[in-house]
Amino acid sequence: MTSPEISAGDLIALVRNYNPKTNAKRIAEAYEFGMEMHEGQFRHSGEPYFTHPVAVAAILTEQRLDDATIITALLHDTIEDTKASYEEVARRFGNEVAMLVDGVTKLTNLQLSSRETKQAENFRKLFMAMSKDLRVILVKLADRLHNMRTIKAMRPEKQAQKARETMDIYAPLAGRMGMQWMREELEDLAFRVLNPEGRQSIIRRFVTLQRETGDVIHRITGDMRSELEKAGIEAEVFGRAKKPYSIWRKMQAKDQGFSRLSDIYGFRVITQSEDDSYRALGVIHQRWRAVPGRFKDYISQPKSNGYRSIHTTVSGRDGKRVEVQIRTRQMHDVAETGVAAHWSYRDGVRSENPFAVDPAKWISSLTEQFDAEEDHDEFLEAVKLEMYSDQVFCFTPKGDVIKLPKGATPIDFAYAIHTRIGHACVGAKVDGIRVPLWSRLRNGQSVEVITAEGQTPQVSWLEIATTGKARTAIRRALREADRARFVKLGHELARSAFEHVNRKATDKALETAARALRVSSVDELLARLGAAEIVAHDVVQAVYPDLTAHESDEISMRRAVIGLEPGQSFERAPCCQPLPGERIIGITYRGQGVVVHAADCDRLGEYEDQPERWVDVHWHSGTHPAVYSTTLEMIIGNDAGVLGRICTLIGEKKANISDLEFVDRKPDFYRLMINVELRDVEQLHSLMLTLEAESDVAEVVRFRDKPVNRAIPG
């Protein structure tokens, strides 16, 4: 069997970093036993299955957990998926480990995403298992985290199911237990599966913002360190961009666009003492302007899960707002690891953290509160309301529960019931009182949707709706309303294209084109033509292939440009890389012939006072070979297989890649330059549309070199 990337020695070294007194022999034995039990088993990705338990154990070392938890992680699937029994695990590794492994196995077998009473009963079992030993859920959360990190290997429908379960259950649970870093990563990994376009739009805006403002994080952290040093405060300062899902959720909750969000960047100041935390707050407020209403003191009033920190939002001279959190090292440990702080080790001993609050008390209170509760649905709703601070549960007049994100409106409620109800919505009553459609719903409210025959969705609803279901349904309805406009535009494009070959776009010609292009009707053909989903040239060629056949005779590069003197050669300007089909201008150079620029090239401004060097040229109207190099600047997701898919797409568009260079690498994305050889500008536009449609492509632009101060050849 192939050994996992993390060897037994590597794993033991990770544990020794925080627990020098670890029992290395027991961990090595568990590693060998787990590898032997999983022999011959493989993951969806094709890797040996044992790579998964080892990765889960490595995640738990980041939280400095005890030996029993690390060993449980290595063995957490042995009782369920191998020939190993509870008794054998107990005999080899002790009753404590056997009970933990059995607890994780039982959690794995719970179908938490099933429906109604069964789901409520499984939630009850989940909390009971957690109340016995919280380390069970720590292993289960690490198990889910690694599965989400490697989810790409699963079937799409399985990915969606796991991602939804993660978003609904495991991420909120991690957050409720104070493990904010895990909640954020689980949410973002699920967001990548459930709404890849939304996530890419956030990344794309981040990249644009970074390009416009530079490295804001480095600049602000440096300023904060400098101010704190002047005040004699010893502190660490960290800055980071928030996760895409965190930003997306804030955009939805605050009903604001990306540019108006004040907490895209977060900064943490870690001090030596509580007194220093308040002194640091004073220093920051003296240096930067505090934003009213954005100050919270969780040190004097801690959250129920033990979280303590000072939160403030400040703005600089440029008006940009940033969020700052200030806390001590011990408070920071609780803020990062939550319940894991109870089990963490430092220098071989359990670390005592006075700020850690045991979430087991919360779990116990829930199980006690509903221990005698016979109404499972009521139990489930109470549990969800307790766990999901970012969701609201409202009722229909019949008493059915509708789950919506925090900040949802009656429009979202209407579409959650049925698309037909949403389309016909004209108003709403909340708890019997008529309210505007933009009102924000709160937990426990009863909502009645008022409908009217003939009502259709309004464009303004897109600003009111927050849920994906509502916004998608509204956009689809608005598109249908635009269909008549697209059909009219398509008819004009078809008429022009047919006239280009001295023919008319008759009904019969369009019917023939629709059949040839396998489009259901002439109206559908025209609508797609008007929406730029079909090219007019293809419509004409479908009817009159002989009239467009001459265009297949490729024009050699020697004859490509018309307007040159006999014997005069040309070169394409590297700054703008003009393509056949674009308007061009020639500039003469001594000994170099003519350099051809695109008519909109910024470099042409350098020759405004030299009109004698300008040459009136244009491209030959025939078909050109795919030999004209063009540079595309792309930002793509940092995921396995993305680059391969992009190269495949480029090949499918009959373009050749002549060069490729990575110019920036970040944890979430890559920026690269790709040189492709193209036929003309129409092929370029088609290629860029195809690439933009790929969910893992955040941005694709045609690279144009801008003028700089340098010598101009004479």
Question: Residue 33 corresponds to which amino acid?
Answer: F
Strand residue runs (E) in 185-320: 235-241, 265-271, 289-290, 296-297, 310-315
Residue listed under structure tokens 């001295």: 502
Distance CA 424, CA 452 (A): 6
Which SS3 state, helix, strand or coil, does residue 310 take?
Answer: strand
Residue with tokens 């670890």, as numbered in its chain: 22
DSSP 345-386: EETTEEPP-TT---THHHHHHHHHHTTT---HHHHHHHHHHH
Q: Is 80 a catalytic residue?
A: yes
Q: In sequence order, what DSSP letters do the residues of 511-548 get, joined into one string? A: HHHHHHTT-S-HHHHHHHHHTTSS-HHHHHHHH-HHHH
Q: How far apart are CA 238 and CA 236, in angstroms?
A: 7
Rounded Cα distance between 339 and 138, Å, is: 9
**Residue 296 contacts residue 310 (beta carbons within 8 Å):** yes
Catalytic residue among 62, 81, 381, 390: 81
Question: For residues 537 and 548, is the Cβ–Cβ distance under 8 A?
Answer: yes
Choosing from 47, 80, 88, 602, the catalytic residue is 80
Whose CA is closest to 309, among 320, 301, 317, 318?
A: 301
The pairing of strands 289-290 and 310-315 is: antiparallel
φ and ψ of 582, to 5 deg: -95, 150
- Alpha-carbon distance of 316 to 18, in angstroms, equals 40
Q: What is the DSSP string of 585-602?
A: EEEEETTTEEEEEETT-G
Closest CA to 673 of 627, 625, 639, 636: 636
> Would residue 223 show up in a list of annotated catalytic residues for this protein?
no
Burial call 172-181: b when 16+ CB within 10 Å, e when fewer: bbbbbbbbbe
User: What is the rounded distance in angstroms from the CA atom of residue 702 to the CA atom of residue 698?
Assistant: 14
φ/ψ of 641, rounded to 5, equals 85, -10
Q: Compute the distance between CA of residue 304 and CA of residue 456 in angstroms, rounded to an integer.
A: 46
Considering only CA atoms, give the Rg of the chain: 31
User: Which active-site residues does the annotation give?
Assistant: 80-81
